[in-house]
Structure 1
Amino acid sequence: MRRRRPSLAALAPALGTALTLGMALAVLAAGPALASSYRYWSFWDGGSGGGTWSYATTGPSLARPADGSVQGFRFAVSRDAGAEAARPRAAADFAAICGATPAAEGTKRVALVIDFGVPADAPAGEGPPQEGPRTACAQVAPQATAAEALASVAKPLRYNGAALLCAIAGYPQQGCGEPISSPQDTARAQTPDPRAAPAPSPAGPDSGTGPSVGLLAGIAAVAALAAAGVWQSRRRAR
């Protein structure tokens, strides 16, 4: 007996299901991670004034800088902590900041760089209180923490219930390490600042120079599911 081939109408449900699932997979894989950036004060260690910054491994309330140290704070929208976070835009130069402050017995000098960031990183309705970084020489007790040194020159400070530093010199007035979750905030946060160093170019197969990984995954899913639908329809038609 001659086998009857499945008609296009018979294959339509299987193909429609395959296309729908494939498109859903493509959207999920290719969609941007809108909550992958955070707006917060980052804390940096400038060591003994060598001019370079490294991301601090402890919070300012635990760090106890030695006499002659440089500590930095930067408010910015960053993808994560560490290498991706924005550094203070002034050099970690102890002599330039504390050179005019004489040493005193029973105290230590800690040079501070406080960078309020750029307007593009400010919360809605606010802006940095000054355009460039602020520097100050804190002369505090030998056992004082970086937070205590900061409080001596840049009050008021604001912390949340988890002891996260939320505001320096009252900025920002609201918010504390919140994720940037809306497309409008993400676009606003990514507005380039002409004074800032250019961000590194993205690397990898999903760098924007060709089809995204999500799109290719969706196409592959469509093809696989469509083939499965055709095979199943042919089995039923036998």
Structure 2
Amino acid sequence: MTPNRPALSALLVLGALLAVLGTAGQAQAVGYRYWSFWDRDAAGGTWVYATQGPSTARPSDGDVQGFRFSVSEDSKHSAKPRGESGFAAICAKTPAREGAKRVALVLDFGTADDAPDGSTPPDPSPRTACARVGEDATTADALAAVAKPLRYDTNALLCAIAGYPRTGCGEAVSDGAGSGDRSTASPDTASPAPRRASEPGDGEPGGGGPSVGLVAGIAAVAVLGAAAILRARRRRG
């Protein structure tokens, strides 16, 4: 029996789209190794993912901000800085000064599981520092005052704090069986996310599944294929 050409074509296209969907799903099972940037909520004492990058954020006197080095898919799953220290404890030995502000910083270098191959976090626990900077200073200015050397890439992505890590910058990391099995997928490629200096953006790998357009296209082809098969059966009947 000669196969119905429209039905066969629709099914072949459907199969191809499903294969693309499967590949997209695999591609999204990827994380990024980078420094994430956080604000301490003064009211609740919890960490909130920063809505600006350190080069544009301008903290006020008394603010607490944190950085955490880790591997994560996106901002929703990013590891928060560890530690409970507040502004009073961190800046206790740094007196206020007219014309300046004090910003408390928590620098969490992460765990050995998230470290690049051949590297070890310089400190197993977070460091704290009180930066006294000008009233108009950004978080990047505060960071430069207490945590040099800093390293940035050509897109102004923050790559290293206090010299850690020595190499790499927001690289994609393949999803292994465990944290220690992660391997670098593209070591010289900066994360496309850190539009805010450290956040994988919406729509990037790890952003939440296939696009609506792709799913809708697959559904439409499936409907057309089913209709073609039904018409072919009616003709034969």
TM-score by length of 2: 0.66
Conserved in 2, the CA contact under 8 Å of 1:49 and 1:92? Answer: no
For 2:153, which of 127, 143, 160 is the aligned residue? 160
Conserved in 2, the CA contact under 8 Å of 1:52 and 1:92? Answer: no
Determine which structure has greater relative contact order: mean sequence separation of CA pairs < 8 Å that are 6+ residues apart, divided by chain length: 1
Letter in 1 for 2:81: P
The list of structure 1 runs, each at least 4 consecutive aligned residues, that deviate by more than 6 angstroms after superposition, is 12-19
Which residue number corresponds to residue 130 of structure 1?
123
For 1:73, which of 51, 67, 75 is the aligned residue? 67
Say which SS state the counterpart of residue 144 (structure 1) adopts. Answer: coil
What stretches of structure 1 of length at least 5 have no aligned partner?
1-6, 193-205, 207-213
Matched, 1:28 2:20: yes
User: Pairwise mapping of residues 65-104 of structure 1 onto structure 2 (< 5 A)?
Assistant: 65-81=59-75, 83-91=76-84, 93-104=86-97
Which residue number corresponds to residue 108 of structure 2?
115
> What CA distance in whole angstroms lies between the structure 1 residues aligned with 2:152 and 2:60?
24
Matched, 1:44 2:47: no
1:158 is displaced (CA, Å) by 0.7
What stretches of structure 2 of length at least 5 have no aligned partner?
182-208, 210-214
Aligned CA-pair RMSD: 3.6
TM-score by length of 1: 0.66
Which residue number corresponds to residue 187 of structure 1?
176
> What CA distance in whole angstroms lies between the structure 1 residues aligned with 2:44 and 2:93?
18
Letter in 1 for 2:120: G
- Is the alpha carbon distance of 1:19 and 1:127 closer, same or farther for their aligned partners in structure 2, counting shifts above 3 Å? farther
For residues 62-83 of structure 1, the C-alpha deviation after alignment (integer angstroms, 9 at most, x for no partner) is 22222211111111222223x3
Which residue number corresponds to residue 64 of structure 1?
58
Which residue number corresponds to residue 201 of structure 1?
none
Conserved in 1, the CA contact under 8 Å of 2:54 and 2:140? Answer: yes
Structure number with larger C-alpha Rg? 1
> What CA distance in whole angstroms lies between the structure 1 residues aligned with 2:178 and 2:136?
38
Conserved in 2, the CA contact under 8 Å of 1:11 and 1:230? Answer: no
For residues 54-113 of structure 1, the C-alpha deviation after alignment (integer angstroms, 9 at most, x for no partner) is 1222221222222211111111222223x3332212236112212233334443221110
> What CA distance in whole angstroms lies between the structure 1 residues aligned with 2:179 and 2:140?
29
1:17 is displaced (CA, Å) by 6.8
> What CA distance in whole angstroms lies between the structure 1 residues aligned with 2:44 and 2:162?
26
Letter in 1 for 2:36: S
Identity %: 52
> What CA distance in whole angstroms lies between the structure 2 residues aligned with 1:88 and 1:122?
15
Letter in 1 for 2:21: A
- Is the alpha carbon distance of 1:167 and 1:189 closer, same or farther for their aligned partners in structure 2, counting shifts above 3 Å? farther
Which residue number corresponds to residue 139 of structure 1?
132
